[in-house]
Amino acid sequence: MGVNILWDRQAPEGIELPVIRMIARILEREPELIDYPFLIEGYDRCRNQHDAQSILDRLQDTFTRRYPISGPLLLVTSRDLYVDGCDFVFGLARPTCDVAVVSTARLGNEYYGRTPDDADLIDRTAKEGAHELGHLLGLGHCSNPECVMFQPRTLDELDRKKKTLCPACRKALRAREEN
């Protein structure tokens, strides 16, 4: 099954291909970069953040019905995301509907007052993008802190993850593909 990636026009430019190549290696699938206009909704002025659930609602209700897309769909956006009860989320997946979103807002070094580095941004975007797509492909969270399916709460935890699935998650993903 193919996976689709939609790059928000305001997401960082120029890193699309390295991110996609890295996601392809992690998930052993060739993602397709699709290009359609998409309006990001769910802005909360008090928080200066977007509600990830609203974005997924729109992806699910409008977007996937209006355009011919088959298979899991990941939106990459630069907007900072939250869900009710959380200060922020790196991303969110809705496996029942095959849609997910990942935010680059907190993946760049500059957010933490460090020197910007595209290589870091690419690594983190690929890991979290692959993580959300992994949910759409049937994987849950993994307790192995080095696995892409581990749920990081901080940038350090994210950086501790390797750019691979652990053997158990890889096996589960392959088993799903065969079915």
x-or-dash string of contact with Zn ion, 95-134, rule CB under 5 A: ----------------------------------------
Choosing from 13, 16, 30, 132, the catalytic residue is 132
Closer residue to Zn ion in complex, CB, 67/168: 168
Considering the rule CB under 5 A, would residue 137 count as an interface residue with Zn ion?
no
169 forms part of the interface with Zn ion (CB under 5 A): yes
Residue 36 has a CB neighbour count (10 Å cut-off) of 9
Active site residue 132: yes
Non-local CB neighbours of 41 within 8 Å, separated by 6+ positions: 50, 54, 55, 57, 58
Residue 142 or 155 having the CB closest to Zn ion? 142
When binding is defined by CB under 5 A, the residue of 147, 155, 158, 172 that contacts Zn ion is 147
**Cβ distance 125 to 107 under 8 Å?**
yes
Please choose, out of 10-18, 27-35, 38-46, 140-148, the segment that lies near Zn ion by the rule CB under 5 A.
140-148
Contact 137, 110 (CB under 8 A): no
- Where in the chain does DSSP place strands (E)? 3-7, 31-34, 43-44, 49-51, 73-77, 81-82, 91-94, 99-103
CB of 119 to Zn ion, least distance (A): 23
- Which residue matches tokens 């749920």? 151
